[in-house]
DNA sequence: CGATAGATTGAGAGTTTTCAACCGATGTGG
DNA sequence: CCACATCGGTTGAAAACTCTCAATCTATCG
């Protein structure tokens, strides 16, 4: 396997035949929790359909949306690899179907199948980049730019999900009311249109550019 | 190799004999740059002695300290694994000696030596956790708690480095002046002592606890 | 149709930064 | 080894940003 890898391949498709036999399937209703922050990791999951959010919940109940997984993306891997308990909670954002393999089968897989492990590692490396970029943005950029950028990103990456103001805020470190205000402004600028709660991006390129200019 | 791994082992010690033959060594003076944000990755490095900072520099020059590497820690791996250009710049924080292997040798290594790859992956998984925790802290916690927590963390993890106010701030998303104010306050509370520019932690446990209580 | 969750808006408060001035430590060249 | 330049640190006052709180409105769903 070359280091050039297909971003869109599915982990569960490249597992060894042995591991594939152990895949099971499960369904979660919207708002159901897949696993809790602090739990011992038992499985690795891949989304068959729907959306799952990885959410960090602080001592006083503030929620931060760290990552989102949609069709074909896997989760739960980080914790198993680092031998820790889950550092955040995963919740089904929509009705969701997932496949999973057990901790034991996953560990056997990564110890015997270099190709699977390499793919997982490459995904981890990208997740780390994204996380560190998010951190740098949060530390250096004003809310308006963050919110518009996040809106554009989430819409590009998860086109079939209707994001709420709360979720957009939790993804980029902003309060719901602030997101609402910025959206109203963006609407007045003709960057987005609003159809009830639904947000439509008029021109994605323009939105990215607009957000970029706010930083200058 | 079990998933139970020794956090303190050195990557370059577990490389295959073939890769070990290709290790070369280099020295960087304080403030010298190892590689630049945007560059194509050419090597993976391991610190023999000294400290290296991974710094994200924004369009308008704001610097964020993403990670720090000291003796035995390796860097440059993330970018090679994700097939991207460097997302941040590495700078020697002190006079530093590093070992390195080339991109080609690294790629050969991870494709043939599952043990090395597994170790790298475990480190990546921990780096991701730390990064996401930092993000959640930045989004939900006030500066004072962040600064004191960061101070305690940096001092624990890199005991031989004398952190400046600027660096502490860049690590947790705060301005130098703010760090200075908080340090003065912490000094008055008897949490730290100051010897010129040097910061000494009087009681680490107490400092952690104090920072924790600020969140409640 | 009523209940509930999500969205909006305004006013005021709080936090952190910005800007500016000044101080103290450190290190280097004459 | 001193003089001085430089870098890092400190402090105050004001400004800027974002949040908080509260009231109100609008969708959506059973």
Kindly report, residue by residue over A94-145, the tens digit of the pLDDT: 999 999 999 999 999 999 999 999 999 999 999 999 999 999 999 999 999 9
Q: Is residue A6 part of a domain?
A: no
Task: For CA atoms B66, A6, B74, B27, give the dihedral sign.
Answer: negative
**Spatial separation of the C-alpha atoms in residues A36 and A142, rounded to whole Å:** 32
In whole angstroms, how far apart are CA A129 and each of A63, A93, A169, B79, B126?
A: 21, 24, 20, 8, 13
* C-alpha angle A56-A57-A62 in degrees, rounded to nearest 5: 120
State the angle between helix axes of A143-157 and A204-215 in degrees (0 to 180), rounded to the nearest 10.
150
The count of structural domains within chain B is 2
Distance A3 CA to D12 C1' (A): 56
| Residue B31 main-chain phi, psi, to 5 deg | 75, 0
Question: Residue A203: which domain range?
Answer: 137-214
Q: In this model, does residue B17 exceed pLDDT 50?
A: yes
Q: What tens digit of pLDDT does each residue of A164-196 get?
A: 999 999 999 999 999 999 999 999 999 999 998
Q: In this model, does residue B1 exceed pLDDT 60?
A: no
Residue A24 sits in the same domain as residue A51? yes
Residue B96 sits in the same domain as residue B170? no
The candidate with the shortest Cα–Cα distance to A117, out of B25, B27, B124, B203, is B124
Q: Is residue A177 part of a domain?
A: yes
User: What is the pLDDT confidence band of residue A3, given thresholds at 50, 70 and 90?
Assistant: low
Reported pTM? 0.96
Residue A192 sits in the same domain as residue A117? no
Distance B182 CA to C3 C1' (A): 48
Residue A147 sits in the same domain as residue A73? no
The candidate with the shortest Cα–Cα distance to B25, out of B104, B100, B103, is B100
User: What is the pLDDT confidence band of residue A5, given thresholds at 50, 70 and 90?
Assistant: low
Give chain A's mean pLDDT: 95
Residue B40 sits in the same domain as residue B146? no
Q: Is B38 exposed, middle or buried (0-12, 13-18, 19+ CB in 10 A)?
A: exposed
Q: In this model, does residue B8 exceed pLDDT 90?
A: no
Residue A160 sits in the same domain as residue A185? yes
In whole angstroms, how far apart are CA A21 and each of A67, A105, A120, B186?
A: 28, 10, 19, 58
pLDDT for res B9: 86
Q: What tens digit of pLDDT does each residue of B173-185 get?
A: 999 999 999 999 9
**Spatial separation of the C-alpha atoms in residues B46 and B146, rounded to whole Å:** 29
pLDDT for res A9: 86
The candidate with the shortest Cα–Cα distance to B146, out of B171, B127, B121, B125, is B171
Q: Is residue A2 part of a domain?
A: no
Distance B175 CA to C16 C1' (A): 9
List of E strands, chain B? 24-28, 33-35, 43-49, 52-57, 63-69, 74-75, 89-92, 96-102, 192-195, 198-201
Closest Cβ–Cβ partner in A62, A81, A121 for B81:
A121
User: What is the pLDDT confidence band of residue A18, given thresholds at 50, 70 and 90?
Assistant: very high
Please state, for a pLDDT cut of 90, what percent of chain A lies above it. 94
Mean pLDDT of B89-109: 97
CATH number assigned to the domain comprising residue B47: 2.60.120.10
Domain boundary among A103, A132, A161: A132
Residue B104 sits in the same domain as residue B187? no
Residue B52 sits in the same domain as residue B120? yes
Residue A19 sits in the same domain as residue A122? yes
Q: Which nucleotide is nearest to B199 (CA to C1')?
A: D9
Closest Cβ–Cβ partner in A82, A83, A122 for B82:
A122
Mean pLDDT of A202-209: 96
Mean pLDDT of B142-146: 98
**Chain B residue with Cα closest to A103:** B3
**Spatial separation of the C-alpha atoms in residues A176 and A155, rounded to whole Å:** 18
Which residue out of B105, B117, B121 would a mutagenesis test of the A interface target, given it has the greatest number of A Cβ atoms within 10 Å?
Answer: B121
Q: Is residue A3 part of a domain?
A: no
Q: In this model, does residue B2 exceed pLDDT 70?
A: no
Residue A16 sits in the same domain as residue A121? yes
Residue A110 sits in the same domain as residue A149? no
**Spatial separation of the C-alpha atoms in residues B66 and B75, rounded to whole Å:** 12
Domain boundary among B106, B132, B158: B132
pLDDT for res B115: 95
Q: Is residue B96 part of a domain?
A: yes
Mean pLDDT of B142-162: 96
Q: What tens digit of pLDDT does each residue of B25-59 get?
A: 999 999 999 999 999 999 999 999 999 999 999 98
CATH number assigned to the domain comprising residue A210: 1.10.10.10
Q: Answer for the pair A154, A168: CB distance below 8 angstroms, yes or no.
A: yes
pLDDT for res A195: 92
Q: Is residue A4 part of a domain?
A: no
Q: Answer for the pair A205, A139: CB distance below 8 angstroms, yes or no.
A: no
pLDDT for res A1: 47
- Distance, CA of A200 to chain centre: 20
Q: Is residue A18 part of a domain?
A: yes
Domain boundary among B114, B132, B150: B132
Q: Which residue has the higher pLDDT, A81 or A1?
A: A81
B181 touches strand D (CB under 7 A): yes
Contacts of B154 (CB under 8 A, 6+ apart): B68, B161, B163, B168, B171
Q: Is residue B3 part of a domain?
A: no
Residue B29 sits in the same domain as residue B118? yes
**Chain A residue with Cα closest to B175:** A139
């Amino acid at each position: 396997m070359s280091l050039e890898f297909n971003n869109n391949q599915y982990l569960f498709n490249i597992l060894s035949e042995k591991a594939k036999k152990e895949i099971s399937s499960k369904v979660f209703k919207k708002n159901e929790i897949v696993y809790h922050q602090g739990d011992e990791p038992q499985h690795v999951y891949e989304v068959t359909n729907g959306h799952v959010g990885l959410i960090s919940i602080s001592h006083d109940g503030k929620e931060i949306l760290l990552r989102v997984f949609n069709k074909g993306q896997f989760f739960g891997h980080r914790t198993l690899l680092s031998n820790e308990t889950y550092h955040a909670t995963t919740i089904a954002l929509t009705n969701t179907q997932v496949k999973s393999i057990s901790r034991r089968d996953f560990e056997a897989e990564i110890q015997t199948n270099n190709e699977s492990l390499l793919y997982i590692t490459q995904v981890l490396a990208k997740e780390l980049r994204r996380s560190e970029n998010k951190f740098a943005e949060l530390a250096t950029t004003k809310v308006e730019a963050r919110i518009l950028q996040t809106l554009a990103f989430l819409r590009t990456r998860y086109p079939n999900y209707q994001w709420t103001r709360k979720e957009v805020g939790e993804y980029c470190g902003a309060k719901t009311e602030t997101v609402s205000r910025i959206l109203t402004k963006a609407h007045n600028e003709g960057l987005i249109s609003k159809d009830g709660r639904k947000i439509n991006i008029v021109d994605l390129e323009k939105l990215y550019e607009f957000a970029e200019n706010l930083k200058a």
